[in-house]
């Protein structure tokens, strides 16, 4: 076929040979059943059709074909053909590759010693070494293959997986790396199948071991119970977490942590250390309403918390998958199997990637579907589309996730023949209208998440510098950022103190009118519109200026010379003393209020609370009648205030308060000012005693009811 590229011609001929038909019959079937002239891209659509037909046959014997390398070679050529389906694209691609190879040769030094080779082999990951001069494929081709066969990547998180996996190779995937990755996936599945089951526990038929740690060939896992520590073996399945404490000869019976239960359980990072001191951030804690205390598991490491982060991501993924099935009410066992299978393949991909990137382990969430979209902005949109797409998934298709695991002899995930009969008939290809609509919706949701993630990452990167600053620098930044507000403070003081009589009068009249007309909402709306207009002016001014003229940076001047170490210590001591005094004042105020509320403030002398002269009582409440109990006085004042608020409308009270405040701050108010009331109130507050506080190590025993 002349319109196809050489690699595309080779692939479609091999597809016809795999299916057991001629190329002419494939063309006739494609044009009769699939091809629509208005869609365009005849060559690419034909390559997709032929590949889908061939993959149905290849996936039935996928394990042996991965081992001998034929599956990786065939699917890699399919991706190359999908990237360059036409002869014109092939010609332009060859020209670009030739230029890049020439640039690469120009950059290579003339002499490379054996010592340099040994250093790169020792300090480098395996992934950069699996690069050759052959053709490579990009992100779109790998993700397309993920829609056909969810083995190397899954279509839902394939772009994040590809970015992480190919970061050392300039985001291009070469055949040696692709072949090694598929073989590592197959080897990881075989290793997991060889793992011993937890002692004293019978795994369910659909339960599959996903990760094991704490064995003799791996690093330790320690469970902390109070002040005691128990090393042991930790096993994760797609339903539960099992911990087996190490015994004298063998392991003790496993403790099961059910991750599939519909409870509000949580898993998070924590710190541990000797005698309960949180010194080492290497542990996780599982908490559930069914447990009286959390289960703490530590993953000791010398320099980092990579193991802990790896386990934390895996456990979250299992919890989230069951929450997903419960939230979207996925009750069909076949659909649930498919979700479990895709999750298992994602974890297996993570194990394989860690073998290729040992020096710099990848971010675990980039390979996991649910843990990834639980963290990313707008990730719930993708999960909504995923739930809708599950209804159309054909688990009986040879290239589905559950079929792939079944063909790799994962016995736990076998689908019975009776269940397979309930699955709708296998469709001829993946190009059906329903699939295209669902895939398009899912792809647009993934694209939106990626754009939101880039914006969020950029915003987080701008805050990293502020987080690394010390207390002094943070204080200077805060003072500089609040400078506009502090500049407005003198203006308000001038208005309040009648230093600008005309402005002050206008402000007070405006406030009274707003309160009287009940225009508070309109006033707030006007303020918000003013702020929006200010932002609009800033946007217009920003577009009208060049990049150098934009205010993308705030310069803060520190002022005088830097303080010495002694001066800094003294300043910190005085600051700490100020904070301590504020805490003491807050504690005293709270205790006095509590004393008033509980009527624990004693009387100065005995007196009858009930007097017939109510007017005399109120007139002598704070001055002539000191024998009144503090709690009683506070009660009577609050009662009087409650009566006033119930009888008089609030707007008149607010208007009266504004007029009173304005008069008291004016020159007339200075002549009327009398500090006797404030003095009596302060004396009354100072005479309120507080209940003594006693600090003990253990809580007092509860009193038994008689």
How many Cα atoms are found within 13 Å in the side-chain-facing hemisphere of 221? 25
Q: What is the pLDDT of residues 545-560, one digit of tens each?
A: 555 555 556 666 665 5
Q: Which residues contact 65 (CB under 8 A, 6 or more apart)?
A: 58, 71, 74
Among the residue ranges 427-436, 565-574, 615-624, the one predicted with the least confidence is: 615-624
pLDDT-derived band at 617 (thresholds 50, 70, 90) equals very low
Mean pLDDT of the chain: 79
| Sign of the four-CA dihedral 563, 566, 571, 572 | positive
* Structure token digits, residue 262: 């519909």
Q: What is the pLDDT of residues 18-48, one digit of tens each?
A: 999 999 999 999 888 877 776 668 889 999 9
pLDDT at 289 over 50: yes
Contacts of 364-368 with CB under 8 Å at 24 or more apart are: 364/309, 364/310, 364/313, 364/314, 365/313, 366/157, 366/160, 366/161, 366/163, 366/164, 367/157, 367/160, 367/161, 367/164, 368/157, 368/313, 368/314, 368/317, 368/343
Asked whether the beta carbons of 59 and 398 are under 8 A apart, the reply is yes
Q: What is the pLDDT of residues 443-482, one digit of tens each?
A: 999 999 999 988 888 877 767 666 555 566 666 667 767 7
Q: What is the pLDDT of residues 634-655, one digit of tens each?
A: 788 888 888 888 888 888 888 8
Q: What is the pLDDT of residues 162-209, one digit of tens each?
A: 999 998 888 999 999 999 999 999 999 999 999 999 999 888 888 999
Structural domains in the chain, sorted by start = 6-111+120-189 (no CATH), 195-304 (2.30.29.30), 571-686 (no CATH)
Asked whether the beta carbons of 279 and 267 are under 8 A apart, the reply is no
Q: How far apart are CA 478 and CA 460, in angstroms?
A: 19
Q: Please provide the DSSP assignment of 4-36 as one string.
A: B-HHHHHHHHHHHHHHTS-HHHHHHHHHHHT--
3-state SS class at 287: strand
Asked whether the beta carbons of 366 and 439 are under 8 A apart, the reply is no
3-state SS class at 209: strand
Minimal CA–CA distance to 214: which of 251, 168, 183? Answer: 251
Q: Which residues contact 157 (CB under 8 A, 6 or more apart)?
A: 346, 366, 367, 368, 369, 372, 373
Is the model more confident about 195 or about 600?
195
pLDDT-derived band at 432 (thresholds 50, 70, 90) equals low
Among the residue ranges 337-341, 352-356, 401-405, 545-549, the one predicted with the least confidence is: 545-549
SS3 content of the chain, % helix, strand, coil (to 5): 60, 10, 30
Asked whether the beta carbons of 665 and 573 are under 8 A apart, the reply is no
């Amino acid at each position: 076929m002349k319109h196809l590229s050489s690699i595309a011609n080779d692939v479609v001929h091999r597809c016809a040979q795999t299916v057991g038909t001629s190329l002419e019959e494939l063309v006739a079937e494609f044009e009769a059943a699939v091809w629509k002239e208005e869609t365009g891209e005849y060559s690419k659509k034909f390559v997709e059709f032929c590949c889908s037909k061939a993959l149905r046959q290849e996936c039935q014997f996928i394990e042996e074909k991965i081992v001998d390398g034929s599956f990786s070679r065939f699917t890699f050529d399919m991706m190359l053909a999908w990237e360059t389906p036409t002869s014109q694209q092939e010609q332009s691609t060859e020209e670009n590759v030739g230029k890049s190879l020439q640039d690469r040769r120009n950059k290579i030094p003339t002499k490379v010693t054996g010592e340099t080779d040994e250093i790169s082999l020792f300090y480098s990951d395996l992934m950069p070494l699996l690069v050759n001069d052959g053709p490579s494929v990009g992100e779109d081709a790998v993700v397309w293959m993920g829609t056909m066969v969810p083995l190397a990547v899954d279509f839902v998180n394939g772009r994040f997986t590809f970015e992480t996996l190919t970061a050392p190779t300039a985001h291009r995937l070469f055949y040696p790396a692709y072949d090694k990755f598929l073989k590592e996936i197959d080897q990881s599945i075989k290793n997991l199948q060889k793992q011993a089951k937890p002692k004293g526990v019978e795994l369910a038929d659909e339960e599959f071991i996903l990760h094991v740690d704490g064995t003799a060939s791996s690093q330790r896992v320690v469970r902390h119970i109070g002040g005691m520590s128990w090393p042991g073996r930790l096993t994760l399945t797609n339903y539960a977490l099992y911990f087996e404490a190490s015994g004298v000869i063998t392991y003790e019976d496993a403790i099961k942590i059910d991750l599939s239960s519909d409870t509000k359980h949580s898993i998070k990072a924590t710190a541990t250390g000797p005698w309960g001191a949180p010194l080492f951030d290497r542990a996780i804690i599982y908490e559930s309403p069914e447990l009286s205390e959390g289960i703490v598991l530590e993953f000791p490491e010398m320099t980092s918390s990579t193991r802990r982060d790896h386990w934390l991501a895996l456990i979250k993924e299992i919890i989230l998958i069951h929450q997903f099935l419960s939230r979207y009410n996925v009750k069909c066992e076949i659909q649930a199997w498919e979700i479990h299978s895709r999750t298992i393949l994602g974890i297996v991909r993570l194990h394989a990637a860690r073998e290729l990137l040992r020096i710099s382990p990848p971010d675990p969430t980039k390979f996991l579907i649910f843990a990834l979209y639980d963290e990313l902005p707008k990730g719930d949109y993708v999960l909504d589309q995923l739930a809708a797409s599950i209804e159309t998934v054909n688990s009986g298709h040879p290239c589905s996730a559950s079929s792939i695991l079944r063909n790799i002899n994962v016995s736990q995930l076998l689908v019975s023949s009776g269940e397979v009969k309930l699955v709708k008939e296998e469709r001829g290809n993946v190009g059906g209208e329903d699939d295209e609509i669902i895939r398009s919706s899912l792809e647009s949701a993934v694209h939106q998440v990626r754009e939101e993630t880039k914006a969020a990452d950029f915003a987080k990167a701008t805050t990293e510098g502020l987080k690394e600053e010390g207390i002094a620098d943070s204080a200077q930044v805060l003072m500089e950022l609040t400078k506009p507000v502090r500049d407005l403070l003198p203006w308000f003081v001038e208005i309040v103190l009648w230093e600008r009589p005309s402005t002050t009068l206008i402000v007070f009249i405006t406030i009274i009118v707003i309160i009287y007309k009940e225009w508070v909402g309109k006033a707030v709306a006007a303020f918000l519109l003013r702020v929006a207009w200010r932002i609009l002016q800033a946007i217009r001014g920003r577009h009208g200026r060049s990049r150098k003229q934009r205010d993308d940076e705030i310069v803060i001047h520190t002022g005088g010379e830097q303080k010495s170490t002694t001066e800094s210590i003294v300043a910190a001591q005085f600051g700490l003393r100020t904070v301590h005094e504020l805490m003491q004042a807050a504690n005293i105020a709270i205790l006095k209020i509590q004393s008033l509320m509980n009527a624990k403030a004693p009387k100065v002398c005995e007196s009858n609370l009930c007097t017939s002269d109510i007017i005399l009582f109120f007139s002598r409440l704070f001055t002539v009648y000191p024998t009144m109990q503090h709690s009683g006085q506070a009660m009577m004042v609050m009662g009087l205030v409650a009566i006033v608020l119930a009888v008089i409308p609030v707007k008149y009270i607010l208007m009266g308060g504004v007029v009173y405040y304005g008069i008291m701050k004016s020159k007339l108010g200075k002549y009327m000012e009398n500090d006797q009331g404030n003095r009596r109130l302060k004396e009354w507050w100072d005479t309120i005693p507080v209940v003594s506080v006693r600090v003990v190590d253990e809580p007092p025993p509860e009193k038994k009811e008689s």
